[in-house]
A = this chain, B = another copy of it.
Amino acid sequence: MTNNSDESCIVRHIKSYGEIDQKDEGLLLSLEDGPCEWSKNAILWNQGEESDCFYTLKKGWVCAFRDLEDGSRQVLDIYVPGDIVGLREFAFQKRITSVVVLREAELCAFPKSHLAEIFSRSRTLSSIFFMITARDQAVLLERLVNLGRRSAREKLAHFLAEISHRLQRTNAQVESHLSLPLSQGVLADALGLSAVHVSRTFREFRLEGLVSTDNAHVKLLDIKGLEAVAGFDDFYLESTAGLLTGPDRQTDRQTAC
Contact = CB atoms under 8 A, between A and B. Distances in A.
Interface of A: 33-34, 36-37, 52-53, 66, 68-69, 72-74, 76, 87-94, 96-97, 109, 111, 113-117, 119-120, 123, 126-127, 129-138, 140-141, 143-145, 147-149, 189-192, 231, 235-236, 238, 240, 243-244, 247-249, 251-255, 257
B92 A137 contact: no
Contact of A130 (B129, B143, B257): B129
B135 A91 contact: yes
A192 B147 contact: yes
B145 A74 contact: yes
Nearest to A140: B140
A107 B207 CA distance: 53
A137 B136 contact: yes
B69 A231 contact: yes
Contacts of A244: 116
Contacts of A36: 257
Contacts of A131: 90-91
Nearest to A53: B254
